[in-house]
Structure 1
Amino acid sequence: MTISNQKTDMSVFENYESEVRSYSRSFPTIFEKAKGYQLWDKQGKDYIDFFAGAGALNYGHNDDAMQQRLIEYIQSDGLLHSLDMATNARAAFLQKFNEVILKPREMDYKIMFPGPTGTNTVESALKIARKVTGREKVVTFTNAFHGMTIGALSVTGNAFKRHGAGIPLTYSMAMPFDDYMDGIDSLDYLEKMIEDGGSGIDLPAAVILETVQGEGGINAASFEWLKRVEELCHRLDILLIVDDVQAGCGRTGTFFSFEQAGISPDVICMSKSISGSGLPMAITLIKPEYDIWGPGEHNGTFRGNNLAFVTAAEALNHWKTDAFSESILSKSELFKKRLNQFVDEYPELQGEVRGRGLMLGIASAKAGLSGQLAEAAFERGLIVETSGPDDEVLKMLPPPMIDEEGIEKGLDIIEESIKAVLGKEEVTV
């Protein structure tokens, strides 16, 4: 998605920044301020945010309580950088995560800080699975996205991103995701391939999956399918890794996206909204029996982001009761009702509503249409992106703290954009 009618001077980015830049092309204005579910550019134009930092801002921009905790911590000369040395901020997060998230769900995991990004937590998960099992191969799924470093790319499906590695990506095998092929039971196929001595596939170390594929096109696996994957892994002594980097932290309604499926992954990858504020942070949750790392066997200079620990601990206050989770689910119903109306009222979209919670999208069979809709929406004051292997999905990730007024305004802009792109705008004389 590229917008030629730029709203402000973007020449500094064009002149000095690498061609690899992406979102500054999709949203070509210079943003100056953000609060809650809104952003403002240098010229004072306001935008509703249905993007939320690609899912890194589930609690909105510049939350008041998180801001205050940061100010207090900085003014107290608290450590900003500490590698994995013990700090008060680190201890506070570990204790609160255990008390607010793990214990109420009867979950027993060791918490690892692998580095600051989603791809770091995926790399650590792949390494621990191979270390535990002594096996090399990892099963991934069609349209998966797990990150941009070499190990994470090896379990990512997107051909364009894989090509960027510049080397063969090995030690993984892609299998069909839930409902990838009409009339084909993907798990029967997976089970047959793993158990058949003539398939050419070795017993894998792990299976890695997203419960809702974000970058892959908002493909939501059924709870039944997820449960069957877990059963297959347990039966064959394969570790189950759930990548909850984008779908976690309440995005689908519950803190972990797999809770409603009733499964218990061996390893869980989290980043994006785990810090609460958009500051870089990632964690890898490992069942204690698999936490067999040697000290320093996996490390990194920035695995001690104390500012992120401070805001992450504050963000966990949203999960002390069920109110936040319940509000996400009710807002999801409001969203889906309007999206289904769009699909019904504008058959030219050739659309299909996808997703779960506030991780939603409209997939269009019409080539290029979703990109046109995102462009038209930006021009009207809405930040929204596309996803899927052919950018065929208009992908909506509003911050779950958004109120109903913000939802309705954003959806009104989407409808206006649909009318504009389809040539159905009313002409006033």
Structure 2
Amino acid sequence: MKVIENRPSSLQVFEELESEVRSYCRSFPALFAKANGYQLWDVEGKQYIDFFAGAGALNYGHNNMRMKEKLIQYLINDGITHSLDMATKAKEMFLQRFHEVILKPRGMNYKVMFPGPTGTNSVESALKLARKVTGRETVMSFTNAFHGMTIGSLSVSGNKFKRKGAGIPLQNSVTMPFDRYFGDEIDTVSFIERFLEDNGSGVSLPAAIILETVQGEGGLHAASFHWLKRIRDICDRWKILLIVDDIQVGCGRTGTFFSFEPSGIQPDIICLSKSIGGYGLPMALTLIRPEIDIWEPGEHNGTFRGNNLSFVTATEALRYWETDAFSKEIKDKGEKIRHFLHDLVQNHPELEGEVRGRGLIQGIACGVEGMAENICAAAFERGLIIETSGPENEVVKLLPPLIIDEAGLTKGFEILDESIKKCKTSSTE
């Protein structure tokens, strides 16, 4: 994201006391004080439309009233907050509801693991389990992938800047081209198959293949459903475990609860975090096919894997998925976003734009260097919180809460259009 230099004096304490590693407060230089639904307000009372949604952790909006009421009542009643992985009523209710509302209707049979509170915890547990199950070390990942900031997750991520931050060699992984990485003419699945078939390729048989169906941080590249099916076939043929990282694009972001549902595949392991907790509280799940759940008790653990406050809000969030109505709403909003973005690309050829993504994670990849960053910075000045994506920050990424209404979308669209016009004018001056 582009760093906006004119920061208000109210941010001085952060510059003086907080680490230089901070990033989003540089891109969005305001002192935020209040949030509700798809809107935020800073200390000066300025209102912002949220097309960022906590990087996908706030699918149900800020301070969702239904979840807030459940959370407040739980605290008033002295409900258990911290419990490691002990049995609690809050966990029991979540597990039962997740099975009844999400897994059972979809014919999915998975054990639920609580690996720790963040997405990278889920990915690390998935990688560790895949290696334990297969006895192999290598994990295959893809170009432009992003799976987290801890060492194992970085080893299967593609971003050069983030990988460099590890400070050590990132090993036991191999990177392959994602769907359409070389364009429409080259079949990347056949490319992968050739490496696995050839004993002279230098690529050992992997324990797992890990992928995102839509590469959220990597530039909104969306895999075709046919490509996903063929990757599943590769895994079946060579007895490789398939891990789907649904941390950002799951929990309804693409329209269905799991992003891979339209493809018809079922992964061996599924990673969930961000919006699985519903309210923005830390929570992560690793879903595991029962036959590969071969953990020894305590073999993978963590102090905060039992966040009962998240169990409470996550259970309430599942009410959105009791029928197909919410999914239909998301798909309809996704179509509106797609039409709007295509119109923008057509009306502003100077962007050299390409529409990418699926559902309520879409954006425009700009062919002009720095354009996406400038557009997002201009949008923030006008009251729209929106970030970039991609290895060169080349994508303007729309990630609004799933509950956003027509008025919120329309207002956001207007600001984005104005911001593009502003950047167009500036570039010609």
Shorter-chain TM range is over 0.9
Unaligned runs of 5+ in 2: none
SS of 1:140's partner is strand
1:197 aligns with 2:212: no
Indicate the residue corresponding to 1:177 in structure 2: 178
- Provide the rounded CA distance (Å) in 2 between the counterparts of 1:110 and 1:312: 17
SS of the residue 2:364 aligns to: strand
The answer for the alignment partner of 1:107 in structure 2 is 108
- 2:318 corresponds in structure 1 to 316
The 5 Å alignment of 1:19-418 reads: 19-182=20-183, 183-418=185-420
Q: CA deviation at 1:424?
A: 8.0
The size of the alignment, in residue pairs, is: 425
Distance 1:333 1:166 in 2: 42
1:240-285 Cα distance to aligned partner (Å, 9 max, x none): 0000000000000000000000000000000000000000000000
Aligned alpha-carbon RMSD (Å): 0.9
Q: Work out the CA distance in 2 between the residues paired with 1:88 and 1:400.
A: 29
CA deviation digits over 1:192-214, x for unaligned, max 9? Answer: 00110010111100000000000
Tell me the secondary structure at the aligned position of residue 365 of structure 2.
strand
CA distance in 1, matches of 2:410, 2:228: 33
Structure 1: any 5+ residue segments left out of the alignment? none
Using the TM superposition, give the Cα deviation of residue 7 of structure 1 relative to its aligned residue in structure 2, in angstroms: 4.1
TM (normalized to structure 1)? 0.98
Residues in 1 aligned to 2:58 and 2:120: alpha-carbon distance in whole angstroms: 18
Deviation by residue 1:27-65 (Cα, 9 ceiling, x = unmatched): 001000000000000000000000000000000000111
Task: Provide the rounded CA distance (Å) in 1 between the counterparts of 2:350 and 2:426.
Answer: 11
What is the letter of the counterpart of residue 194 of structure 1? L
Deviations 1:375-399, CA, capped at 9 Å, x for gaps: 0000000000001000000011000
CA drift of 1:191 comes to 0.5
8 A Cα contact 1:219 1:354, kept in partner = yes
Inter-partner Cα distance in structure 2 for 1:338 and 1:196: 46
Cα 1:135/1:190, change in 2 over 3 Å: same
Cα shift readout 1:155-209 (whole Å, capped 9, x = no counterpart): 0000000000000000000000000002211110101001100101111000000
**Secondary structure of residue in 1 paired with 2:7:** coil
Q: Is the 8 A contact 1:118 1:245 kept in 2?
A: yes
Amino acid at match of 2:280: G
Equivalent residue letter for 1:98: H
Checking the alignment, whether the CA contact within 8 Å between 1:8 and 1:28 is kept in structure 2 is no
Tell me how far 1:4 sits from its aligned partner.
1.6
* Partner AA of 1:359 in structure 2: I
Inter-partner Cα distance in structure 1 for 2:321 and 2:357:
22
Deviating beyond 2 angstroms after TM superposition, the runs of 4 or more aligned structure 1 residues are 5-8
Q: Distance in 2 between matches of 1:91 and 1:313?
A: 10
**CA distance in structure 2 between the aligned counterparts of 1:219 and 1:200, rounded to whole angstroms:** 27
Distance 2:161 2:7 in 1: 27
- Give me the whole-angstrom Cα distance separating, in 2, the residues matched to 1:134 and 1:259: 29
> C-alpha distance in 1, partners of 2:336/2:174?
39
Q: TM-score, normalised by structure 2?
A: 0.98
The percentage of counterpart residues that share the same residue type is 65
Specify the code of the residue in structure 2 equivalent to 1:170: Q
Partner AA of 2:269 in structure 1: V
Q: Report the secondary structure of 2:137's partner residue.
A: coil
